[in-house]
Amino acid sequence: MATTQAQKFTFDLTGPLTEEQAAHIYALGREAVIYALMILSDRVISEVSRQAENSIMTPSTPSDMVPVYEKPAAPKRRIKP
């Protein structure tokens, strides 16, 4: 059974997915499961990108608020001859 343009799935993906909801989606068939996974993965990706946008460091960010792994390497010191 292929998904057509007219076929619409009616299930709620707005909150946490319960076991009953997952079983209902699975019962609708392969296309419904693929559709639900695509919708949920899109939400995860948009949430991750939104969090990344909020964590942008500006020049006015205090040095101790920047994680060590994000700071540039310190310049090498000269050894006295």
Give me the pLDDT at residue 7, please: 60
Total domains, the chain: 1
Predicted structure pTM score? 0.54
pLDDT in tens, the chain (81 residues): 455 544 677 777 777 888 998 898 899 889 988 988 888 888 888 888 887 766 667 777 787 777 888 788 888 888 887
In a domain, 81, yes or no: no
pLDDT on residue 5:
45
Q: What DSSP string describes 57-72?
A: --TTS-GGGS-GGGSP
Q: Which domain holds residue 44?
A: 18-52
With respect to residue 29, please indicate whether it lies within any of the assigned structural domains: yes
* Burial status of residue 33 (CB atoms within 10 A of its CB: 0-12, 13-18, 19 or more): middle
